[in-house]
């Protein structure tokens, strides 16, 4: 890990320590339906799910891994932010998921042996990483041949300006690194020996104020004001967010684009 990467990991840990509860409340409720679908699709392609072991990288409050666990023999959530794991353990225990454990580790240097897992997933974390290819290499290393890799993440929509998009994301959250276009993300997988089996894209409507709250930005704070300014200028449209005001309440809304990739280790 270089000094720059270390500094960036500190930014990530600080951001997700500060916002552990607001982020968890959002992810566990607003993304519940999507998460159930991702978990069902990822485990359906395993030869024998109930005998399989999976790890979910950047698990946060356990959003995806707690949906995976009921299908599997064992599931492990991996995250670099202890505050997130506190919430994740609380949620797992409340749900009675005895086959779910958590490890505090860097997804770029996983504490798992080569080819030791049947499924490795990563949700909404690659866009925070300075070296996402390193994490994809780690995913490919720890999954067994013919095992599965599942990725769900934000993408820059086709035709949008990726630089403007990522600038807005970094103003909102300095721990943001790079959101890829869907094609750019897809291109990375074969480079580490992962063959894509399925790719699906969807979008969701977001409320600007909730998006700020999840990142710990109070109305009127410098980050809130600057992000709002960008979203309401031509930048918001150029970035592919399609910002608009709700005609009834007047709240600022926008669109996020999401890709789900399922791959097989060759
Ligand atoms: C946007 S949250 C996503 C959480 C969860 N996967 C979800 O979908 O709700 C990103 C998570 O990745 C974790 N994270 C970021 N970089 C990481 C790294 N290098 N290793 C492990 N965890 C990391 C953060 O601590 C945070 O909990």
Structure-derived torsion over alpha carbons of residues 31, 37, 43, 49, reported in degrees to the nearest 10: 90
Q: To test ligand 1's pocket by mutation, which of 5, 22, 102, 128 has the most ligand atoms within 8 angstroms of CB? A: 128
Ligand 1 centroid, distance to 245 Cα (angstroms): 30
Ligand 1 centroid, distance to 9 Cα (angstroms): 10
Confidence (pTM): 0.97
Q: Quick count: other Cβ atoms within 10 Å of Cβ 60?
A: 24
Instruction: Note the pLDDT tens digit of each residue in 38-78.
Output: 999 999 999 999 999 999 999 999 999 999 999 999 999 99
DSSP symbol at 69: G
132: left (phi over 0), alpha (psi -120 to 50) or beta: alpha
Q: How far is the C-alpha of 102 from the C-alpha of 77, rounded, in Å?
A: 5
What residue's CA is closest to ligand 1, atom 14? 58
Ligand 1 centroid, distance to 243 Cα (angstroms): 26
Q: Which atom of ligand 1 is nearest to the CA of 60?
A: 27
Radius of gyration, alpha carbons of the chain: 18
Instruction: Note the pLDDT tens digit of each residue in 145-192.
Output: 999 999 999 999 999 999 999 999 999 999 999 999 999 999 999 999
Q: Quick count: other Cβ atoms within 10 Å of Cβ 130?
A: 16
The pLDDT of residue 215 is: 98
Instruction: Note the pLDDT tens digit of each residue in 251-262.
Output: 999 999 999 999
Contact at 8 Å (CB) between 55 and 142? yes
CA 253-33-185 angle, 5° bins: 75
> Taking CB atoms and a 6 Å cutoff, what residues make up the pocket around ligand 1?
9, 12, 16, 27, 58-60, 63-64, 78-81, 84, 106-108, 123-125, 128-129
Reported as a pLDDT band with limits 50, 70 and 90, residue 1 is: confident
Ligand 1 centroid, distance to 79 Cα (angstroms): 6
């Amino acid at each position: 890990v270089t000094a720059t990467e270390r500094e960036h990991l500190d930014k990530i840990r600080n951001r997700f320590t500060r916002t552990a509860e607001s982020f968890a409340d959002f992810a566990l409720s607003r993304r519940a339906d999507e998460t159930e679908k991702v978990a069902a699709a990822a485990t359906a392609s395993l030869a024998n799910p109930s005998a399989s072991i999976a790890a979910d990288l950047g698990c946060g409050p356990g959003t995806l891994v707690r949906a995976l666990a009921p299908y599997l023999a064992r599931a492990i959530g991996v995250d670099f932010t202890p505050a997130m794991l506190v919430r994740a353990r609380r949620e797992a225990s409340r749900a009675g998921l005895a086959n779910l454990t958590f490890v505090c580790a860097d997804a770029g240097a996983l504490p798992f042996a080569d080819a030791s897992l049947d499924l490795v997933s990563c949700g909404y974390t690659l866009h925070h990483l300075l070296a996402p290819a390193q994490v994809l290499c780690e995913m490919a290393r720890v999954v067994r041949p013919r095992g599965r890799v599942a990725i769900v993440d934000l993408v820059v929509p086709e035709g949008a300006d990726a630089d403007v998009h990522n600038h807005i994301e970094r103003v909102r959250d300095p721990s943001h690194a790079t959101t890829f276009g869907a094609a750019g993300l897809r291109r990375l997988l074969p480079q580490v020996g992962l063959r894509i089996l399925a790719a699906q894209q969807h979008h969701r409507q977001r409320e600007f104020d909730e998006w700020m709250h999840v990142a710990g930005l109070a109305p009127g704070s410098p980050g809130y004001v600057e992000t709002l300014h960008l979203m309401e200028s031509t930048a918001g449209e150029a970035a592919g967010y399609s910002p608009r005001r709700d005609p009834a309440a007047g709240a600022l809304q926008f669109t996020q684009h999401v890709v789900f990739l399922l791959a097989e280790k060759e």
